[in-house]
Amino acid sequence: MEFIAHVQALTAIAIGIIIGLGALGACLGIGIMGSKFLEAAARQPELVPLLQGRMFLLAGLIDAAFIIGLAIALLLAFSNPLLGMLKTAAGG
């Protein structure tokens, strides 16, 4: 029982790291991309429609990577496959 509690505690720490670093990376990525878009738009205003479409596409991909990490974290939070393996190995 003590080992299962230890696995649950480490899983909670892993969930925090996954969500925290994923959010940090997505925010930094979108911030840098937005600043580069504004620089490019100031240099060549005629390319704004082309650049804007690509910027939104990349913003969606960056957010998708974060949401995939969030889904994995929620999987670990609510139906931890590690605990199922432990219970099966322990015979209970």
- Give which of 80, 91, 63 is closest to 7, Cα–Cα: 80
Name the token pair of 36: 């580069």
Catalytic residue among 47, 63, 71, 74: 63
User: In this structure, are residues 39 and 6 in contact, taking their beta carbons and an 8 Å threshold?
Assistant: no
Residue whose entry in the numeric block shows the structure tokens 């959010």: 23
Is residue 39 among the annotated active site residues?
Answer: no
Residues serving a catalytic function are 63
